[in-house]
Structure 1
Amino acid sequence: MSFLLASAAFASAALAQTYQPRISQFFARDTQPTPVASFGNAVDANERWLVVGEPRNDDTADNAGAVYVFDVTTGRFLRKLTAPDGQADDFFGNSVAVFGSWLAVGAFNQDEAAPNAGAVYLFDLSKGTLIRKLLPTGGNLPNAGLGCSVAINDRYVVAGAAGRNLSRGTVAVFDRMTGDLLFDLEASDGANTDSLGDSVAVSGNLVLAGAPGDAGSSGAAYVFDASRGTELAKFDNPDGGAFDFFGTAVAFNGRQAVIGSDNGGDANEGAVFLFDLLTQSLIRRIDPPDLGNSLGFGHCLDVEGSLAVIGASSGRNSRDVLSGAAYVFDLARGEFISKVSPPDGDLFASFGGTLSGADTGNSVALYGNRAFVGAPNQDGAVPQAGAVYGFYPLAGPLPLDTFAAVGDFVPGAFDAVYTQFGDPVINDNGQIMLPSVLGGPGSKGGKRFAMVADIFSRNYGLVAQSGVDPGSGLIPVRFGQVTNNQQDLALFNVVVSGAGVTPANNQLLFGYDGDTNPLQLFRTGDLVPAMGGVLSKIGEVAQGRQNFQGQVAAVELAKGINGVTSADDSGLLFFGSNGVPTATIQEGDASPLLAADPYGTINRVGLVENVAVFRAGVQADPTGNEAVFRHLLGGATEVVARKGDTAPGAGAAVFQTFLGETISAFSDTAFRATLRGAGVTSKNNEGLWSDHSGSLQLIARKGDQVPGMDAGVVYSRILQFSVSFSEVFFVAKLAGPGIKKTNDCAAFLLQSDDSLLVLLREGDEAPGCDGAKVGVLQRVELGYFGSCAIVASLAGSPAARNQALWSGDYLDPNISAQELRRPFLQFRKGSLHSNLVSNIVRTRSIVLPKGSFDRSGAGLRGAGSPINSSGQMAICVQFDNRAKELLKGKF
């Protein structure tokens, strides 16, 4: 193995990349080097700082403790911090956590509140000054051990007090800015010796706390809502073994909880468990790859994106010495990537662990693609002085699988490669339809297009190609709308040329089931007996999610043929998988309005499950000449709202124009409309309404106060919306006091109790991004039943890392707490990746394809989407070497 060593500093970036990650060593700057000082017992890092705890430092007093601060990029030592009131055996630095330039330091034996009650110190790292000291309050404080673990984010300082209440344990939640104690969190089923708070992590308003003493030291971990002080979930040890100490280490990874069990696993050498926070189900158990050499696996760990670094404090290093080891895993697949250890590791150095198994602290930190691992028992200037080792770069596989890459050949397209991807759509089986632009000798100079798919029983390959006759005599010229909701039928619109093709018959709708060539469903120029005319245009197409739910297209008929006039030349054509019409709704037919006024022009339609929604003109007085309707397949059509009707929640104002509409699988509708009438101005003439609660109600109106925001902050425009399970999702622009371009847009969820939840807002702290703020919401896409993905820029982040993707499931039926409905960070620009075959690459941009919203902003209307109901998605990623890949899968 080829390692490059640098003492107390990283090797220059100009040096050639080594086969293995470069290794740097950090050590203490003690006034008088102290044996068994525990340097490296606790480590944390972010984009600016590396902080290392040395809880047994004697400079102030015996075991008073200290913390060292380094530049995370250069490795340069910056300063040493001690408690201004440090006393013997405080163990200041037994735990550390960094957020931005804020540092939280635990001193679990500090005595001010009570003997060994503990304390947490907050420092400004940019100045090296103490901000404040946090103390426990209330009863049962002796031996509470506040600060045995710490975590910090933009809102909270979270500190474990595992010894409180006869070691039942509590977790203190403080307001980061004021230092006020907000909550002392306790387990609802806590018992003596559970040691809740032995480990803690925080993400947004969520707190994850380990209780390794639960159930005879089998162990457990709890999830809390820090904003309300409530318990949300408990994770029991899946193995259930006594003395497994499940919960000795915890971390968040997007929507996953990562929990270490350092005496668990089949051989009691340790294991790490991944749970889904939303469903609370076990995803997988991760075991060390070299049983017999990995004792203590899972005592310390950290995660970043799809990478995890897991310490094994008594593992064997590359020289077969029990110095400890750290293991790098791909969390997305649970696969082992590499084992790292220091080349000079001493026997029992506790690399990847704490000074002893009884010590709290986390000696593993992972930020970006840099890992830092403490060895608190490593010999240095004096025996067991401790050391920290940095490893860079670490690169693992992409979190999703590659579907196609620009420059790859296109299966079935002779002598052609991909040069550009269109917007893919994905069905509930995770199968994709992908329109694309071709290059290469077989592409006619880049003027040819292709539709490719991995649909159903057919392998990934070509479905259709422009300029190439598939054998029917009809040659595709260009592709239009693509829909792929069903598991056995995808739809795509094509304009064709060829013998006998004219502008009157050059548009086709194809169906593709993966087993045969695409099936022509219908074509302009076809006679539709049920409508009494000939098709002249195929408009938007919507598709139910199941085969029996069928499809619908908004169509136009040729005027002057079969007596068709402008009074009956549009409508909706419902059809089966073979293209045979099953029902129609036509302009000129009697509507379900009280006077049975005939429908006017029908040009928009949505279909979800077996219920359709459409906007239609009404052949009536101009004050009521349009309406929104819903139609149950095989059943009745009913009116949702009509122009001229009084708009609920808008005083005496009435509906003027319907701008867009959508529907849920349970027939709940939502629509955007303009208003006219008394009190209506240009500042309040638009709104969003829904009947999700059983009756039509206003959801948001331009100019109305936004609930929960500062007085005067109002909606200025509704951009996107959808409805499902009696809840309404929408994206809106804001205006008012304090609103600027940097914070004027947000994604909201109106919940079933009519409370408003902000899912993600520009200008707010970006979840999981260490102090960066949400910049611009660049793309929002939805899948059925609550799947959501958002890509946004990041403000206050280095240019190389200033974009991220979040996803979640805001309507998961198992969710009982709204904090779990917010999207979780899944993927961030700037991460390094390697497929272990070719070069290491860095992500340069993330593109979330469009599809689930139409031009009006109405979402999930039965068109295709880049994300499905289970959260599987298709995204396009560009790398710093200009390579582009289309990825698919579930984070």
Structure 2
Amino acid sequence: MKVSLCALLTSAITLSSNSALAITPPMAFATYPSHAKTGYSIQGIQDLATGRLGTGAVSPNGDILFEMSVVGTGAAGGRSRALCSNIGFLAAAVRQQSGPLFPTLPGLPANARITAFSSPIVNRTAQVGIYRATVTGTGLNSASNQLVLRCDNGSPGLVARTGVPFASLGGAVPSSFLEVLQQEGANDRVALLYKLRSGVAATNTKNDSGLILMNHAGTVTHSLNREGNASAVVPGDGSPEVYGQFAHAAILSGDAVGFTCKVIPPIGKPVDGLFHTGAVNQRSTLTPGTTPPGVVNNELLGTFTGVTRIGALTLLRATLTKSAATANEGVWNFGGTLLLRKGDDIGGGIKITRIVRIWGVDNGQLLAHVQLSNRAQALILRQVDGNFLTLISTNTPAPEIFDSPTVTVATIQAIDVDPVNGNYVVLASLKGAASTTNQALWVGRTSRGNDTTLQAQRMPILKLRKGRPLFTTNTPWDTVRGITVKPLLDRTGVGARGAAQQITSDGRVLAIVTGDRRVQELVTIVDP
């Protein structure tokens, strides 16, 4: 049998155990944009090369923002880290390096040095990202050394800093930023969940937390959502209440933000409250100690554990009390509709035993990474019609891999979801494949098709597999030896709320691919 070079480049060819030639269906071998590669020089700093790649983020227009270790004579003995981006450039360049702060920023001492970078985010389409940095220097301490910085087509700019008073809060001084979020799309919006220093500007333990909104220049646009201020009330209830300690936040689509915090009534104990702030402030009717919609048997809402977005509305993850351990958690939208619950049957008698992580989509869909009663883990879609569609599951045949009928999904290693169009990426190990081919990456889009006859259009598509050829703008030819995707593992078990995205609204995926000789390369996988 003759196989042309063209066929080799459009089909994966392997030898089965009986030496018969097996040809899998074509998988496109695209040339992926490469942004950094182990040992390769980096624009922006002389005598500096890529070391070990760290965390990063990608935007819908292809902007990337990432941090990594660097090596070379300009790398302080290999202990340096760099913050890099292609925003405003043709290729990724160093924007800041650990060590002496350059350029200098207002209010910082002349000997200020960056010691760490974290939380790169680039959700905005208008070529601007944000990231966090920790600095040391004369007069700086743990309550004044956190920076939120802007990365655009100029020099890094200061968005906010602990230790610097907020005039909009009467001169109160932030001592820490608990969460830093950036809005998706073209809106000029950053949200900071903050903690304030007690004893300054009448700040005490009863008013030292809150949520502040600002633009990327650091100009505050909304600051009323502060502990101790009057809160929005439950519809139909005119009782005056005030905000208590703030807990979680999510930037929504449009001009809105959702958050949870304690609510202090005139009489009684503080309880969790779910809020939505946009054109007007609103509080959801969902309240701990009450029976929420969709449950029976006098079960009560317990703790509000996380929030994210589902379009312009807030999505709540919460526990249930007076409920069996097999059904003691759920997900509701702001209006009180129950969308997902531990114990739900997703089909064939298979039930959800654990909700690992959730993502809302602007069209009203909900995706969830779940543990199932058949001991599998899966990514499932709750469709708008209320039915479940399993997109990928362990212990089942690996999608679009046909070199052996026994190749199954072994473990799900990473998932991320875009909240605008429901683009998703799944990285998983494979069982029944050789060690040289036992990992794969799939993408899909849940906004395709429909809830009935065209569900197949929402299923995962194989994009990259260990053992396949790799072509990038920095690599004419290599072999994929490993794949890494680094989604932000939110402690609240929710995603797509304004933090870093590994997949965008147009389907771009940020991934680290390991080739021969353990060379790592940061690439964007573009959905054609």
Counting only pairs closer than 5 Å after superposition, residues 446-845 of structure 1 correspond to structure 2 as 446-456=78-88, 460-472=92-104, 473=110, 474-486=112-124, 487-514=126-153, 516-532=154-170, 533-584=172-223, 585-593=225-233, 594=237, 595-609=239-253, 610-620=255-265, 625-632=271-278, 634-639=279-284, 641-651=286-296, 652-667=298-313, 669-677=314-322, 680-691=323-334, 695-702=335-342, 704-710=343-349, 713-724=350-361, 725-735=363-373, 739-740=374-375, 744-770=376-402, 771=405, 772-783=407-418, 784-812=420-448, 817-833=454-470, 840-845=477-482
Match of 1:253 in 2: none
Match of 1:71 in 2: 19
Counterpart residue identity of residue 774, structure 1: V
* Residue 523 (structure 1) shift: 1.2
Contact between 1:624 and 1:643, CA under 8 Å: does it hold in 2?
no
For residues 427 and 46 of structure 1, do their structure 2 counterparts lie closer, same or farther at Cα, with a shift above 3 Å needed? Answer: closer
Contact between 1:765 and 1:773, CA under 8 Å: does it hold in 2?
yes
Contact between 1:488 and 1:547, CA under 8 Å: does it hold in 2?
no
Q: 1 CA distance for matches of 2:13 and 2:311?
A: 44
Deviations 1:743-788 (A, max 9, x none): x211111111111111111111111111211111110011232111
Q: 2 CA distance for matches of 1:708 and 1:850?
A: 28
Match of 2:502 in 1: 866
For residues 457 and 876 of structure 1, do their structure 2 counterparts lie closer, same or farther at Cα, with a shift above 3 Å needed? Answer: closer
* Residue 566 (structure 1) shift: 0.5
Deviations 1:381-411 (A, max 9, x none): xxxxxxxxxxxxxxxxxx4221110111222
For residues 640 and 612 of structure 1, do their structure 2 counterparts lie closer, same or farther at Cα, with a shift above 3 Å needed? Answer: farther
Q: 1 CA distance for matches of 2:231 and 2:36?
A: 48
Q: 1 CA distance for matches of 2:370 and 2:333?
A: 16
Deviations 1:700-743 (A, max 9, x none): 322x2423123xx32111111111211111111112xxx23xxx
For residues 640 and 659 of structure 1, do their structure 2 counterparts lie closer, same or farther at Cα, with a shift above 3 Å needed? Answer: same
Counterpart residue identity of residue 554, structure 1: L
Contact between 1:700 and 1:715, CA under 8 Å: does it hold in 2?
no
Contact between 1:588 and 1:598, CA under 8 Å: does it hold in 2?
yes
Q: 2 CA distance for matches of 1:778 and 1:306?
A: 23
Where 1:304 maps in the other structure, the secondary structure is coil
Counterpart residue identity of residue 803, structure 1: Q
Q: 2 CA distance for matches of 1:635 and 1:813?
A: 35
* Residue 840 (structure 1) shift: 4.8
Match of 2:520 in 1: 884
Counting only pairs closer than 5 Å after superposition, residues 217-256 of structure 1 correspond to structure 2 as none
* Residue 520 (structure 1) shift: 0.8
Contact between 1:440 and 1:446, CA under 8 Å: does it hold in 2?
yes
Counting only pairs closer than 5 Å after superposition, residues 67-466 of structure 1 correspond to structure 2 as 71-72=19-20, 304-307=26-29, 332=30, 399-456=31-88, 460-466=92-98
Contact between 2:41 and 2:47, CA under 8 Å: does it hold in 1?
yes
Unaligned runs of 5+ in 2: 105-109
Where 2:308 maps in the other structure, the secondary structure is strand
Where 1:644 maps in the other structure, the secondary structure is coil
Contact between 1:625 and 1:643, CA under 8 Å: does it hold in 2?
yes
Q: 2 CA distance for matches of 1:410 and 1:673?
A: 45
* Residue 537 (structure 1) shift: 1.0
For residues 762 and 459 of structure 1, do their structure 2 counterparts lie closer, same or farther at Cα, with a shift above 3 Å needed? Answer: closer
Max Rg structure: 1
Counterpart residue identity of residue 782, structure 1: V
For the pair 1:848 / 2:499, whether they are aligned, the reply is no
* Residue 807 (structure 1) shift: 0.3
Q: 2 CA distance for matches of 1:456 and 1:839?
A: 26
For residues 548 and 535 of structure 1, do their structure 2 counterparts lie closer, same or farther at Cα, with a shift above 3 Å needed? Answer: same
For residues 854 and 834 of structure 1, do their structure 2 counterparts lie closer, same or farther at Cα, with a shift above 3 Å needed? Answer: closer
TM-score between both structures, scaled by the size of structure 1: 0.53
Q: 1 CA distance for matches of 2:371 and 2:433?
A: 23
For residues 723 and 767 of structure 1, do their structure 2 counterparts lie closer, same or farther at Cα, with a shift above 3 Å needed? Answer: same
Deviations 1:863-886 (A, max 9, x none): 121111000121111123211111
TM-score between both structures, scaled by the size of structure 2: 0.88
Where 2:284 maps in the other structure, the secondary structure is strand
Deviations 1:28-81 (A, max 9, x none): xxxxxxxxxxxxxxxx9974559xxxxxxxxxxxxxxxxxxx7236xxxxxxxx
Identity across the alignment (%): 25
* Residue 421 (structure 1) shift: 1.1
Counterpart residue identity of residue 511, structure 1: R
* Residue 619 (structure 1) shift: 2.1
Q: 1 CA distance for matches of 2:117 and 2:474?
A: 36
* Residue 425 (structure 1) shift: 0.6
**Count of residue pairs brought into register by the alignment:** 503
For residues 547 and 726 of structure 1, do their structure 2 counterparts lie closer, same or farther at Cα, with a shift above 3 Å needed? Answer: closer
Where 1:613 maps in the other structure, the secondary structure is strand
Match of 2:107 in 1: none
Where 1:441 maps in the other structure, the secondary structure is coil
For residues 616 and 458 of structure 1, do their structure 2 counterparts lie closer, same or farther at Cα, with a shift above 3 Å needed? Answer: farther
Q: 2 CA distance for matches of 1:879 and 1:453?
A: 23
Unaligned runs of 5+ in 1: 1-7, 11-19, 24-43, 51-69, 74-97, 100-301, 308-331, 333-398
For residues 303 and 468 of structure 1, do their structure 2 counterparts lie closer, same or farther at Cα, with a shift above 3 Å needed? Answer: farther
Deviations 1:424-443 (A, max 9, x none): 11112111001111222322
Where 1:554 maps in the other structure, the secondary structure is strand
**Root-mean-square deviation over aligned CA pairs:** 2.9
Where 2:421 maps in the other structure, the secondary structure is helix
Q: 1 CA distance for matches of 2:474 and 2:505?
A: 33
Q: 1 CA distance for matches of 2:88 and 2:289?
A: 48
Counterpart residue identity of residue 598, structure 1: V
Contact between 1:629 and 1:641, CA under 8 Å: does it hold in 2?
no
Deviations 1:105-140 (A, max 9, x none): xxxxxxxxxxxxxxxxxxxxxxxxxxxxxxxxxxxx
Q: 2 CA distance for matches of 1:871 and 1:763?
A: 26
* Residue 656 (structure 1) shift: 0.9
Q: 2 CA distance for matches of 1:45 and 1:662?
A: 40
Match of 1:217 in 2: none
Contact between 2:284 and 2:336, CA under 8 Å: does it hold in 1?
no
Q: 2 CA distance for matches of 1:836 and 1:722?
A: 32
Where 2:506 maps in the other structure, the secondary structure is coil
Counterpart residue identity of residue 776, structure 1: T
Counterpart residue identity of residue 462, structure 2: L
Counterpart residue identity of residue 194, structure 2: V
Deviations 1:534-567 (A, max 9, x none): 1111221112224444111101111011110100
